């Protein structure tokens, strides 16, 4: 009788773990997307030093890495899921097409951000220890746009993967 109650507890805890696993485990990689994005930004900024487009290329490249890292990292459990599954890679490749207009808007927004920096009053653009208010607002807007697009992309990937498993009968 005592052994039966242990088996029941083991079964319910196993059931809870498997039910919680998809939601909690898939969030792990997406929250670290800003680290490779920062690395890409630094590399592009240094490599393109002296080029007039270095800020635009560095921001667009880091933004792309961050958005796709967030989206794919929110869908997969670990990197084996990404490199072992051609489905996820195809879904991510298809999302490059709607990402191109976003990059165009981002590049134009960066241009406007730099242009307005010269026109705005000094209290807004004056740099202190932590940067100017205008600089902080620009980075904050970029982060909000990246997270928003990353969430949208992760939902699209999940929806596309869900359709494929429904069509193949695996889900």
Q: What is the DSSP string of the chain?
A: -HHHHHHHHHHHHHHHHHHHHHHHHTTTTGGGTHHHHHHHHHHHHHHTTT-TTHHHHHHHHHHHHHHHHHHHHHH-SSHHHHHH-HHHHHHHHHTHHHHHHHHHHHHHHHHHHHHHHHHS-HHHH---TT--HHHHHHHHHHHHHHHHHHHHHHHHHHHHHHHHHHHHT--
Residue 70, phi then psi, degrees to nearest 5: -65, -45
The number of folded domains in the chain is 1
Q: Tens digit of pLDDT for each residue in 83-97?
A: 666 777 788 888 889
Q: What's the pTM value of the predicted model, to 2 decimals?
A: 0.71
Does residue 48 belong to any structural domain of this protein?
A: yes
Output 18 or 146, whichever has higher pLDDT. 146
The residue range of the domain holding 141 is 27-168
Task: Please tell me the distance from the alpha carbon of residue 27 to that of residue 33, in angstroms, as a whole number.
Answer: 11
User: How high is the pLDDT of residue 109?
Assistant: 93
pLDDT(166) > 70: no
Per-residue pLDDT at 108? 95
Q: What is the mean pLDDT of residues 103-107?
A: 95
Whole-angstrom distance, CA of residue 120 vs CA of residue 104? 24
In a domain, 19, yes or no: no
CB 149 within 8 A of CB 37: no
Is 17 inside any structural domain? Answer: no
Query: Does 15 fall in a domain?
Result: no
For residue 2, is pLDDT > 80? Answer: no
In a domain, residue 5? The reply is no
Does residue 16 belong to any structural domain of this protein? no
In a domain, 54, yes or no: yes
Please count the residues of the chain.
Answer: 171
- Apex CA 83: angle with CA 77 and CA 86, to 5°? 100
How do residues 14-56 score in pLDDT, each as one tens digit?
444 433 444 444 446 677 788 888 999 999 999 999 999 999 9
pLDDT of residue 72 exceeding 70, the answer is yes
pLDDT of residue 80: 56
- Asked if the model's pLDDT at residue 1 lies above 60, the reply is no
Instruction: Examine residue 102 and state whether it is found in any structural domain, yes or no.
Output: yes
| pLDDT (0 to 100) of residue 26 | 43
pLDDT at 126 over 90: no
Residue 4 pLDDT > 70: no
How large is the average pLDDT for residues 111-131? 84
Q: What is the mean pLDDT of residues 110-133?
A: 84
């Amino acid at each position: 009788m005592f052994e039966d109650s242990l088996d029941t507890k083991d079964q319910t805890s196993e059931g809870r773990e498997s039910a919680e696993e998809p939601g909690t485990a898939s969030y792990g990689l997406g929250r670290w997307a800003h680290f490779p994005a920062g690395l890409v930004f630094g590399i592009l900024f240094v490599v393109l030093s002296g080029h007039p487009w270095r800020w635009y290329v560095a921001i667009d490249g880091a933004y792309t890495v961050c958005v796709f890292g967030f989206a794919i990292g929110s869908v997969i459990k670990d990197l084996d899921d990404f490199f072992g599954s051609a489905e996820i890679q195809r879904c991510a490749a298809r999302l490059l097409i709607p990402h191109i207009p976003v990059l165009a808007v981002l590049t134009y927004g960066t241009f406007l951000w730099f242009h307005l920096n010269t026109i705005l009053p000094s209290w807004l653009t004056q740099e202190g220890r932590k940067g100017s208010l205008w600089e902080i607002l620009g980075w904050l807007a970029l982060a909000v746009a990246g997270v928003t697009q990353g969430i949208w992309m992760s939902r699209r990937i999940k929806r596309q993967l869900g359709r494929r498993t429904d069509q193949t009968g695996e889900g």
